[in-house]
Amino acid sequence: PDAGFRLLALYKYWNIINYFFPYKYLTDKNWNDVLKEYIPKFILAKTELEYELTTLLLIGEVNDTHAHLTEGGNKLVELKGNWQAPFRIRFIENKWVVTDYYKPELKETTGLNTGDIITHIESKRIESIVDSMKIYTPASNEAKKMHRIATDLLRSRNKTIRIKYITSNQKKEK
């Protein structure tokens, strides 16, 4: 939307939190300062993706797992991709571990087993990917943030992704 509607969205959200959110005093910032900080960000968001990312940043200011984008976000979906690996991962003991398969029949095709540790995605260290995702992942605590990140970490715009992982103390790539 144009700058006027972007600002209107900011003001509406800010007012909802200011007048109806009982925990605004538990946020990391003074809520009045949040409005001043985000006015230029909402004005300068030139693309739909920039606007959606800025909106996620704003939503994250309340540190509430229940606050997230439920509609729109079309450019975020394009950014993340529509394809997803056939297995689930979780953040366990500071590692990204394969925990389950959405389609067990694809286990043989992927070559990864439950308990394997993912270290790289598309030649990027998984920690750096996660760090770049954290600010755009609203959640009330670190554990929930990592849970949400896990659902998007293996999404892609391509049908395949290159993964480096550790299995039985051996480094492998698939």
Distant-in-sequence, close-in-space partners of 83: CB < 8 Å, separation ≥ 6 = 155, 156, 157, 158, 159, 161
Report the pLDDT averaged over residues 36-55.
96
- Asked if 111 contacts 85 with a C-beta cutoff of 8 angstroms, the reply is no
The per-residue pLDDT of the chain, averaged, comes to 93
Rounded to whole angstroms, the maximal C-alpha distance in the chain is 56
Distance between CA atoms of residues 100 and 86, nearest Å:
9
> How far apart are alpha carbons 76 and 80 in whole angstroms?
6
pLDDT at residue 115 in the model = 97
pLDDT at 23 over 80: yes
Predicted TM-score (pTM) of this structure: 0.85
Q: What is the pLDDT of residues 71-115, one digit of tens each?
A: 777 888 888 899 999 999 999 999 999 999 998 898 988 889 999
What confidence score (pLDDT) does residue 166 get? 97
Looking up tokens 């991709």 gives: 81
